[in-house]
Chain A
Amino acid sequence: MHKEFLMGNAAVAMGAIAAGLNVVCGYPGTPSTEVLETAAKNNDGKLYVEWSVNEKAAMELGAGAAYSGARTMVTMKQVGLNVAADPLMSLEYLGVKGGMVIMVADDPGPISSQTEQDTRHFASFSKLPCFDPSSVQEAYEMIQEAFEYSEKYHTPVFFRPTTRVCHGYASINVKDRNEYKTNTPEGFVKDSSKWVIFPRLSFNAHINIEKRNAELSDVFSEYKRNIITPAKSPCRKGIASHGISYTYVQEALKNKENPAVLKISTPFPFPEKLAVEFLKDLDEVLCIEELDPVIERELIYVCGKYHLNTKILGKLTGNVKTAGENTCDSVYNNIAEFMGWELLNQDSPETPPLPVRPPVLCAGCPHRASFYAVKTAMKGQKSVFCGDIGCYTLGNAMPLDMVDTCLCMGAGVNIAQGIGKIEPDTRCFSFVGDSTFFASAITGAVNAVYNQADMTLIVLDNSTTAMTGHQPHPGTGRTMMGQIVDKVNIEAVLRGVGLKTVETVNPLELDKAVETVKRVSAEKGVKAVIFKSPCAVLIKPEKPAVIDEDKCINCKKCINSLGCPAIIISEGKVRIDSSLCTGCGLCSQVCPVNAIGGKENE
């Protein structure tokens, strides 16, 4: 054992490696990404690591490896689980041989997600056991236990941290390398009565799953991480909590005698006996949860089933907020109200109006040029711009204002198709990044071609998965095993699925980009423009642009049309912040009086 200062996600990865991990696969998504990245960084050569093309592919690869006896971890964010739902729901009926942990990070807030969905529901829906860690240290230990349970019961299990656990850091106790477990996979043993899903098998499996989960409810009532902390002085009230909120409860109850606290680390199967034990001497229990009232509903159910008179309070009764993340303060005040304590006094002197800093596309981001080119090309034309998930969702911000819709990964293609079917006189565009294209827009493109859509697909190809921290994907020619491989060519894919017109252009060559969009979008059918230019964060910047103050007429067209963070106003004049400017040259092409010079003016 030794101490290390680890991010929660790194602790999950190192815990899994200590448990004898053989395979880890997943798709990037905040707040889950660093799990796989840490595993890859600590690969001693025996681990197989891959960024799969999407979560469904990862889940299926993980299943195959686990069928073969490997200890396998599949990583994703909560919305990624929706993509992997199909293999997951069937996999449960077959089970696994090697331990398989599905690491799904939830995001209360949401801080960087489309939804506040709660994977604990997915656990009960898919009938899979679920582990819910509350701290970095616990995440490290619990992931190892999750593998043991998975292998013992031949079932995949969920491991469900939330953002503050994933991205929290702590100095924790970790194992030395010689304490690591090793797992040598037996290999795939053919048995069609086991690995081929048929209605008869599913019927029998269903009976066994229900039986096993009833057993697990009892087993989890004894699990050392489902715990009751009794009150130090008599009290008829109690708190039930989980995850990071449990640590806020601990902070709130420092130096307090009561109430008693129930910590739920396995929301499914719910440790019913432990809950009865907790509830039987209590009049009221306040449930402090993030996302959905899962524990709250379970306790209400337990009260009904066992004829207990305890009143259960929480989100459903308006005692805890229904959306967004909890904080130390919100939890303290929830408990204070419940217990009749004084609320926190947090008045601060009123502040002057603070500048707002919404996230924006980086200085030099090629997406800015792409959006501006399409906007310019479509001036005066009835058009609609369907966005997608990635950095380029930020194209919605003023002044670009180029994202009319955004739903989920890859959705923009067929949303554009749908709008076009109802509004045939509108020029319909869909914007998709290169990683998202591979993850889930290819089927959309096939659908659009087959069903005679009239739309323009814009692929924003910056040769990386930028939003989540620059992971490789099939178009980059690099893998997480360090191999250099053939790149999957986006233009060839699009031609392969039947697009007749696919043009690739550098968006930073503005006139050419505008002309291409005008020409291509005027054609009938499905056609594509690939804007190819590397992510500004990954390339060495060019010399920053400079403004010729004699020429500048202070019209602010550069600011009002591009919204680049490197163009600022200082002492009433437009200036370039040379520490941010990458010298992309877009603003110099927009300036009406040629006042902005880049490298060509040197």
Chain B
Amino acid sequence: MNKNILLCGVGGQGIVLTSKLTAAAAMEKGYDVMSAETIGMAQKGGSVFSFLRIGEDMYSPMFGKKSADIIIAFEPAEAVRMIPYLKDDGCVIVNTNPVMPVTSALKAGNYSGNEMLGYLRQNVRNLITVDGIKACQDIGSPKVLNMIMLGKAVKSGVLPFSIDDVTAIMEKTVKPQFVEMNKKALNWE
């Protein structure tokens, strides 16, 4: 069993934390895990990614293009940026809500994310869209986007563990008062 997972989005969306949780869930299942992510300069409002590999016979923490089984994208343009890494039959989970870059605001640009979603719909057979803002409103906190995305990814069936497995790990890592909220987020439909 080998899975290459790519998480991506914009600094501050909780990508790195989600990657850690995914890794922990995989390790709990007895798999070896490797990962690599953006740290430093690029964090400040920049594009953030995390490569995560689960399985055996792995040497490098990063993988090449056309190698990801699943891309979990917290932002539409960031999904498109990472599409070259997706296997031809790979799955993409994307949050449909765009994050405006400062440069776009400066030039009064018109980036809305729709063009990106159009591209994804055209080029990705196995695409799952998530309205992150609506989902967060349903749960009642803007801070659960990462759990919503991870829950959707697990339900896609690509990852080698279940919602219960992730829930068990989550309960160990978040503060007790947030467990219920995160559980709801993981199970959001």
Using a CB–CB distance below 8 Å, which chain A residues touch chain B?
3, 5, 30-31, 111-112, 135-136, 164, 167-171, 244, 247-248, 250-251, 254, 327-329, 332, 344, 346, 348-349, 351-352, 354-362, 391, 394, 398-399, 467-468, 556, 559-560, 563-565, 567-570, 579-580
Q: List 17 A-B contacts (CB under 8 A).
A: A31-B40, A169-B23, A169-B33, A169-B36, A169-B37, A170-B33, A170-B61, A171-B27, A254-B57, A328-B60, A349-B123, A354-B77, A355-B104, A357-B10, A362-B45, A559-B106, A569-B105
Binds A, one of B108-116, B149-157, B172-180, B181-189: B108-116
Are A354 and B81 within 8 A (Cβ)? yes
Are A168 and B34 within 8 A (Cβ)? yes
Of all chain A residues, the one with the shortest Cβ separation from B12 is A580
* Distance of B178 from chain A, by nearest CB (Å): 18
Evaluate whether A167 and B84 lie within 8 angstroms (CB atoms) in the complex, with A244-B60, A248-B60, A328-B63 already known. Answer: no
Given contact pairs A164-B61, A332-B64, A565-B102, a sample of 17 additional A-B residue pairs in the complex whose CB atoms are under 8 Å apart: A5-B23, A164-B36, A169-B37, A169-B61, A247-B59, A328-B62, A352-B80, A354-B77, A355-B103, A356-B103, A357-B45, A359-B41, A359-B45, A556-B108, A559-B105, A565-B45, A580-B12
Contact of B66 among A30, A346, A355, A556 (CB under 8 A): A346
Chain A residues with Cβ below 8 Å from B67 are 328
* Distance of B139 from chain A, by nearest CB (Å): 15
Contact of B142 among A394, A398, A579 (CB under 8 A): A579
- Which positions 30-71 of chain B face chain A at CB distance < 8 Å? 32-37, 39-47, 57, 59-67
Contact of A358 among B103, B119, B122, B142 (CB under 8 A): B103
Are B64 and A344 within 8 A (Cβ)? yes
Chain B residues with Cβ below 8 Å from A579 are 142
- Which positions 69-84 of chain B face chain A at CB distance < 8 Å? 77, 80-81, 83-84
Chain A residues with Cβ below 8 Å from B111 are 355
A358 to B105, CA, bound (A): 13
Contact of B32 among A30, A31, A171, A250 (CB under 8 A): A171
Of all chain B residues, the one with the shortest Cβ separation from A329 is B64
B163 interfacial contact with A, CB 8 Å: no
Evaluate whether A348 and B57 lie within 8 angstroms (CB atoms) in the complex, with A5-B27, A164-B36, A362-B44 already known. Answer: no
B24 interfacial contact with A, CB 8 Å: yes
Are A351 and B80 within 8 A (Cβ)? yes
Chain B residues with Cβ below 8 Å from A357 are 10, 45-47, 101, 103
Evaluate whether A358 and B46 lie within 8 angstroms (CB atoms) in the complex, with A327-B64, A398-B106 already known. Answer: yes
Are A167 and B33 within 8 A (Cβ)? no
How many of chain B's residues have a CB under 8 angstroms from any CB in A?
A: 52
Chain B residues with Cβ below 8 Å from A169 are 23, 33-37, 61
Determine the main DSSP class of A at the interface with B.
Answer: loop
* Distance of B125 from chain A, by nearest CB (Å): 12
Are B64 and A3 within 8 A (Cβ)? no
Are A568 and B65 within 8 A (Cβ)? no
* Distance of A556 from chain B, by nearest CB (Å): 7
B100 interfacial contact with A, CB 8 Å: yes
Chain B residues with Cβ below 8 Å from A344 are 64-66
Interface string of B17-31 (1 = CB under 8 A from A): 000100110010000
* Distance of B113 from chain A, by nearest CB (Å): 9
A111 to B39, CA, bound (A): 9
A560 to B107, CA, bound (A): 9
A567 to B35, CA, bound (A): 34
Of all chain B residues, the one with the shortest Cβ separation from A169 is B35
Chain B residues with Cβ below 8 Å from A398 are 106
A394 to B10, CA, bound (A): 18
Interface string of B89-109 (1 = CB under 8 A from A): 000000000001111111011
Chain A residues with Cβ below 8 Å from B46 are 357-359
Of all chain B residues, the one with the shortest Cβ separation from A362 is B44
Contact of B40 among A30, A565, A567 (CB under 8 A): A30
A399 to B105, CA, bound (A): 11
Q: Which of B20, B40, B108 has the most CB of A within 10 A?
A: B40
* Distance of B15 from chain A, by nearest CB (Å): 13
A560 to B108, CA, bound (A): 10
A344 to B85, CA, bound (A): 13
Of all chain B residues, the one with the shortest Cβ separation from A165 is B61
A112 to B44, CA, bound (A): 12
Chain A residues with Cβ below 8 Å from B102 are 360, 563-565
Q: Which of A560, A567, A569 has the most CB of B within 10 A?
A: A569
Of all chain B residues, the one with the shortest Cβ separation from A253 is B59
* Distance of A359 from chain B, by nearest CB (Å): 4
Evaluate whether A250 and B60 lie within 8 angstroms (CB atoms) in the complex, with A171-B33, A349-B123 already known. Answer: yes
* Distance of A570 from chain B, by nearest CB (Å): 8
* Distance of B67 from chain A, by nearest CB (Å): 8
* Distance of A330 from chain B, by nearest CB (Å): 9
A348 to B20, CA, bound (A): 29
Contact of A31 among B39, B45, B65 (CB under 8 A): B39
Chain A residues with Cβ below 8 Å from B61 are 136, 164, 168-170, 247
A250 to B142, CA, bound (A): 42
Chain A residues with Cβ below 8 Å from B63 are 251, 328
Of all chain B residues, the one with the shortest Cβ separation from A325 is B62
* Distance of B39 from chain A, by nearest CB (Å): 5
Contact of A352 among B23, B24, B47, B115 (CB under 8 A): B115
Of all chain B residues, the one with the shortest Cβ separation from A9 is B39
Chain B residues with Cβ below 8 Å from A167 are 36-37, 39
Of all chain A residues, the one with the shortest Cβ separation from B24 is A5
Evaluate whether A394 and B64 lie within 8 angstroms (CB atoms) in the complex, with A169-B23, A356-B101, A357-B103 already known. Answer: no
Evaluate whether A247 and B27 lie within 8 angstroms (CB atoms) in the complex, with A351-B83, A362-B44, A569-B105 already known. Answer: no
Are B84 and A360 within 8 A (Cβ)? no
Are B42 and A359 within 8 A (Cβ)? yes
A398 to B106, CA, bound (A): 9
Are B108 and A328 within 8 A (Cβ)? no
Chain A residues with Cβ below 8 Å from B44 are 359-362, 391, 394
Question: Lowest 10 A-B CB distances belong to which pairs?
Answer: A328-B64, A168-B61, A250-B59, A247-B60, A112-B40, A247-B59, A329-B64, A359-B44, A30-B40, A169-B35
Are A30 and B39 within 8 A (Cβ)? yes
Are B65 and A351 within 8 A (Cβ)? no
Of all chain A residues, the one with the shortest Cβ separation from B84 is A348
Evaluate whether A135 and B59 lie within 8 angstroms (CB atoms) in the complex, with A5-B27, A348-B83, A559-B106 already known. Answer: yes
Chain A residues with Cβ below 8 Å from B42 are 111-112, 359
A568 to B97, CA, bound (A): 15
Evaluate whether A111 and B40 lie within 8 angstroms (CB atoms) in the complex, with A348-B84, A579-B142 already known. Answer: yes
Chain A residues with Cβ below 8 Å from B62 are 164, 168, 327-328
